[in-house]
Amino acid sequence: MLRLASAMRFVVPVLGLAVLHWCALLGRQSPLPDRSATPEAKFKIAGTIVNSLAGTPLGKARVSLFDTRNPADVVWMITSENGHFEFGSLKPGKFSLQGAKRGFIPAAYEQHEQFSTAIVTGAGFDTGNLVLRLTPLALLGGKVIDESGDPVRNARVMLYVEDHQAGMNRIRRAGSGLSDDQGSYEFAALAPGNYYLSVAARPWYAVHPVSSLGEGAGHAPPAVARSLDVAYPTTYYNGATDADGATPIPIQGGDHLQADIHLNPVPALHLVLHVPTDGQQGFRMPVFQKRVFDSLEYVQSEGAQSVAPGVYEVTGVPAGRYSVRLQEP
């Protein structure tokens, strides 16, 4: 019993010292955070989509919100009748806001060309009264008219636009179409910019006889009045017949412009080309191309007709500077 009592007396002071030491450590440490405190604050991005020209709100427009750290994380909604939108329960971060509506150019918040402004959510940032502006699309139309003032049907109308993207300045094709029975054409849904128009057509009355080369002995080409052996040169808005002289058509958002183009005939050329044989492939047909702004385009003509082995005649071509390429048979 004495041994047991002495052992117990020895253990109790040791445990007491351990408990005191543990309590002293707790007293020196910072208190643990309260996990049940107010959760992380949430933020919102809200505002109105408006017509950039009239300032009127745009109902039933689509608004998309992207997390710039993770572009695949996107949410969207449709604006109310008064153009209002609101995205709630957002964490602090940076977001890209984009809007779209039929008849308008899709755009990001405060977009200028390829650049836009990110929206930062967090304490001290007012993101509840944003204005997202969309610019209405434009329309360009008109008529193709011949030398008599009559409409030209099935004229090929080409549209080009100045392109300044990626730090490059060039003029590229933006669309094409054919004039209708009234000579009318139309290009809709155009963004603001500088545009160019050209027209290629064939006079309805033109006749382009093939020369006597390759005809049988004693055969002469049919007699055709020079006034009928004519062609329309490619004509640009303002009457120029070369791309370097074309006049730009500046278009602003919402514009509805009319640009008529008048065609005048010129004498057609008859070009005889001798083409080398390509072994077993035979003779390759020549095709004409012409530089239009920053690219080469095929020239509308009657086509190349074979008048003898290795000899082609091209008719219905107006005078100009062309490149000739041999097409694969």
pLDDT of residue 285: 79
Q: Which CATH number fits domain 43-135: 2.60.40.10, 2.60.120.10, 2.30.42.10, 3.10.450.40?
A: 2.60.40.10
Tokens of 203: 């006079």
Whether residue 61 contacts residue 78, with contact meaning beta carbons closer than 8 Å, is answered with: yes
What Rg, from alpha-carbon coordinates, does the chain have? 38
Across the chain, what does the average pLDDT equal?
84
284 in helix, strand or coil? coil
- CA 158 to chain CA mean position, Å: 16
What distance in Å separates the CA atoms of residue 282 and residue 217, rounded to the nearest whole number?
A: 26
**End-to-end distance of the chain based on CA atoms, in angstroms?**
120
Nearest alpha carbon to residue 90 among 149, 27, 41:
41
- Label residue 139 exposed, middle or buried (CB < 10 Å: 0-12, 13-18, 19+): middle
What distance in Å separates the CA atoms of residue 265 and residue 115, rounded to the nearest whole number?
A: 47
For 135-183, the pLDDT digits (tens) are 999 999 999 999 999 999 999 999 999 998 777 889 999 999 999 999 9
Nearest alpha carbon to residue 50 among 109, 115, 116, 90:
109
Pick 16 or 79 by higher pLDDT: 79
- Residue 53: CB atoms within 10 A of its CB come to 13
- Picking from 8-12, 56-60, 128-132, 259-263, which range would have the lowest pLDDT averaged per residue? 8-12
The amino acid that residue 229 corresponds to is D
pLDDT of residue 329: 60
Cβ within 8 Å of residue 106, ≥6 positions away: 98, 99, 100, 134
Tokens of 248: 């730009």
Q: What is the dihedral of CA 246, 250, 251, 255, to 10 degrees?
A: -100
Rounded to two decimals, what is the model's pTM?
A: 0.75
Question: What DSSP designation does 166 have?
Answer: G
Region at 320 (left for phi over 0; alpha for psi -120 to 50; beta for the rest):
left
Whether residue 49 contacts residue 134, with contact meaning beta carbons closer than 8 Å, is answered with: yes
The amino acid that residue 163 corresponds to is D
What proportion of the chain, given as a percentage, has pLDDT over 70?
81
pLDDT of residue 287: 83
Nearest alpha carbon to residue 73 among 96, 50, 54, 92:
96
- Picking from 38-42, 113-117, 266-270, which range would have the lowest pLDDT averaged per residue? 38-42
Q: Which CATH number fits domain 138-327: 3.40.50.300, 3.65.10.10, 2.60.40.1120, 2.60.300.12?
A: 2.60.40.1120
| In the predicted structure, residue 186 carries a pLDDT above the cut 50 | yes
Cβ within 8 Å of residue 297, ≥6 positions away: 289, 290, 291
Pick 220 or 86 by higher pLDDT: 86
pLDDT category of residue 281 using cuts at 50, 70 and 90: low
Residue 4 backbone dihedrals phi, psi, to 5 degrees? -65, -45
Fold match flag (43-135 vs 138-327):
yes
Tokens of 310: 């290795």
pLDDT of residue 226: 84
User: 175 forms bridges with which residues in the sheet?
Assistant: 159
pLDDT category of residue 213 using cuts at 50, 70 and 90: low
Sheet holding 269-274, edge to edge: 269-274, 311-317, 304-308
- Once rounded to an integer, what is the mean pLDDT over residues 27-52? 67
Per-domain residue ranges of the chain: 43-135, 138-327
pLDDT of residue 17: 36
Question: What DSSP designation does 11 have?
Answer: H
Any long-range contacts for 121-124 (C-beta under 8 Å, 24+ apart)? 121/43, 121/44, 121/45, 121/90, 121/91, 121/92, 121/93, 121/94, 121/95, 122/43, 122/92, 122/93, 123/41, 123/92
Pick 143 or 16 by higher pLDDT: 143
Tokens of 162: 């100045």
